[in-house]
Chains A and B, each alone.
Chain A
Amino acid sequence: MQEDEIRNRIKEIIANVAGLDPTKIGDHATLRDDLNLDSLSLLEIGVDVDFAFKLNLPDERYKEVQSLDSMVELVQGRLAEPRSEAV
């Protein structure tokens, strides 16, 4: 999957949880500060991203994600791995 496609899909998910227009989410937006998301919303985003891309990652990996950029990286990295189980 192309990075643009990944980024746009993640933006949609974040936008849905944050109640925003996806076009309003800057490419380098930080989740807590720029987008004002609390822990419950961040958890929801992690759940929705994992489901959307079928990543099968534990919650802890998503807790480390602070920004849209790092979420894109996480997804790209996971999709590139040869897979049998969750890390």
Chain B
Amino acid sequence: MSRNPVVVTGIGVVTPVGTGRDEFWDNLLAGRSGFAPVSSFDTSAHTVHLGAEVRGFQGADQVRNLDASRLGRASQLAIAAAHQALADAGLDSSAGLADPGRAGVSMGTTSGEPLEVERFDDFFLASDLAGMGTEFIVRYPCHVIAANVAAELGFEGSATMIPAACAAGNYAIAHAVDLLSAGRADLMLAGGADAFSRITYTGFARLGAIAPVTCQPFDRNRKGMIPGEGAGMVVLEPLARALARGARIYAEVAGYGLSCDAHHMTAAHPEGAGAARAMERALEVSGLNADEVSYISAHGTGTPTNDRLETIAVKRVFGDAARRVPISSVKSMLGHTMGAASAIEAAVCALAVHCDRIPGTMNLEEPDPECDLDYVPNAARELPVRVAMNNAYAFGGNNASLILRKCEM
């Protein structure tokens, strides 16, 4: 154990398969799908039409202290998840913070608030920029997501935004853990958020990366990912403080590993080298051997390339143990929630460690000979989960592995 262990004491999620820890976890274990025809914009000119949107989200209802009309969608999703996480940790804002200067927010995102750029463009193309109003610069820049959460909660320590694309949640949690371990903070809210947008959807569709019927990670006939949106936030604090206040502890953050492929913007290294390095670093820092990992939450987007390369990377790191460790992709249900993904998936790992259950990889109908590991097909599983690894890989070659384990106190 590190000198200053950091633990997860609260979870908040707003996702395509449920809002709030209980609904979300129950739906994941039941294998519920979050996929539906896209409703937030017209996909008739596209060749694909499925998305994983958060339906019926009333952002304004979730915001208590700020003026919701000045907040973009990702900020509202993040604030909703943040309030849930604090309440789950027994640290509701109404109780007041002991020292706001020692509390901070660390977040990740892929696109920030792309709907604001879309709005700008709509006015631009209509030759009506005068009608746009003055709020673009207040609502759009991605750092405002973290700042809005911190402002809503009254935190004064920090509000950091690490837009490391689809690995951003892990990066944000890693940064929060570092601040806590170094004694620069006593309480951190960490996670990620992204909003559904035509920009993101069109981009992935243009790359041919979106599946037309469903998302089937590791399946022989997998056709791609389903873009999604959401927010996931966890409350992190030093173990000593959590124990002192009698908090419920989900898991300890044992360590993390980061790497950069420096190979290609949208395609991973063909031998999984970067992904392997991130996993190895995480294990090393955590003082663990690969065969001690009980569960891997895969990046598992469902694209032909990712799932194959991820399998190669796991085999590189785990060797023989690769066949024994259960691996599942919740993107088979959630879709790819972008910057929120690895934060939501970190929450999944914390719950897995806490409950000794893991979600399955749904829609796995025909195994792929190239993806021949135990991907927990089609059903959740009960088993002791002492150590859970959360993997995430992003555009730009950013790789991040986060390890959570049972807190042995």
So, do A and B actually touch in the complex, CB under 8 Å?
A: yes
The chain A residues found within 8 Å of chain B, CB to CB, are 38-40, 43, 47, 59
Closest to B267 in A: A39
Residues in chain B near residue A39, CB distance under 8 A? 267
In the assembled complex, the Cα of A38 lies from the Cα of B207 at a distance in Å of 13
Closest Cβ neighbor of A59 among chain B residues: B208
Q: List 13 A-B contacts (CB under 8 A).
A: A38-B264, A38-B267, A39-B267, A40-B207, A40-B264, A40-B265, A40-B266, A40-B267, A43-B206, A43-B207, A43-B208, A47-B206, A59-B208
Within 8 A of A (CB), among B217-264: 264
Q: Tell me the smallest distance from the CB of B13 to a CB of chain A, in Å.
A: 33
CA distance A46 to B360 in the complex (A): 38
Please report whether the interface of chain A is mostly helix, strand, loop or mixed according to DSSP.
helix
Q: How far is the CA of A60 from the CA of B139 in the complex (A)?
A: 40
Q: Which residues of A contact B206 (CB under 8 A)?
A: 43, 47
For A40, the chain B residues whose CB sits under 8 A away are 207, 264-267
CA distance A67 to B208 in the complex (A): 22
Min CB gap B305→A, angstroms: 10
Contacts of B265 in A (CB 8 A): 40
Q: A40-B267, A43-B208, A59-B208 are in contact. List 10 more A-B contacts (CB 8 A).
A: A38-B264, A38-B267, A39-B267, A40-B207, A40-B264, A40-B265, A40-B266, A43-B206, A43-B207, A47-B206
Residues of A within 8 A of B264 (CB): 38, 40
Q: Which residues between 243 and 298 of chain B lie within 8 Å of chain A, taking CB atoms?
A: 264-267
B270 CB, nearest partner CB in chain A, Å: 12
| 4 nearest A-B residue pairs (beta carbon) | A40-B266, A59-B208, A38-B264, A39-B267
- Measured CB to CB, the nearest residue on chain B to A58 is B47
A47 CB contacts on chain B under 8 angstroms = 206
In the bound complex, CA of A39 to CA of B207 (Å) = 10
Residue of A nearest to B208 (CB): A59
In the bound complex, CA of A43 to CA of B266 (Å): 12
Bitwise, B44-73 to A at CB < 8 A (1) or not (0) is: 000000000000000000000000000000
A47 to chain B, nearest CB (A): 8
Q: Which residue of A lies closest to B265 (CB)?
A: A40
Question: A residues within 8 A CB of B266?
Answer: 40
Residues of B within 8 A of A59 (CB): 208
B165 to chain A, nearest CB (A): 15
Chain B residues closer than 8 Å to A38, beta-carbon distance: 264, 267
Taken together as a complex, chains A and B put the C-alpha atoms of A39 and B208 apart, in Å, by 12
Over the window 183-226 of chain B, the binary record of Cβ atoms lying under 8 Å from chain A Cβ atoms (1 yes, 0 no) is: 00000000000000000000000111000000000000000000
Q: What is the minimal beta-carbon distance from A44 to any residue of chain B, in angstroms? A: 10
Question: With A and B bound together, what is the CA distance between A11 and B185 in angstroms?
Answer: 58
How far is the CB of A50 from the nearest CB of chain B, in Å?
12
| Minimum CB–CB distance for A23 against chain B, Å | 28
A9–B267 alpha-carbon span in the complex (Å):
29
| Interchain CA distance A59-B47 in the complex, whole Å | 12
The CA-CA distance from A63 to B206 in the complex, in Å, is 14
Q: A39: nearest residue on chain B (CB-CB)?
A: B267
Chain B: minimal CB distance from A34 (Å): 20
B330-381 residues at the A interface, CB under 8 angstroms: none
CB distance from A62 to the nearest CB of B (A): 11
A-side contacts of B267, CB under 8 Å: 38-40
Nearest CB of B to A30, in Å = 20
0/1 interface trace, chain B 17-47, chain A, CB 8 Å (1 if under): 0000000000000000000000000000000
Q: Complex formed: what's the CA distance from A40 to B265 in Å?
A: 9
Docked CA distance A39–B209 (Å): 13
Task: Compute how far the CA of A40 lies from the CA of B209 in the bound complex, rounded to whole angstroms.
Answer: 12
Cα A40 to Cα B203 with chains together (Å): 12
Give the CA-CA distance A47 to B207 in the complex, in Å: 11
A40 to B208, CA, bound (A): 11
Closest chain B residue to A38, Cβ basis: B264
- Least CB distance from A54 to B in Å reads 16
Q: How far is the CB of B45 from chain A (nearest CB, A)?
A: 13
In the bound assembly, the distance between CA atoms of A3 and B363 in angstroms comes to 49
- By beta carbon, the residue of chain A nearest B266 is A40
Nearest CB on A from B217, distance (A): 21
Question: Which residues of A lie under 8 Å from residue B207 when comparing CB positions?
Answer: 40, 43
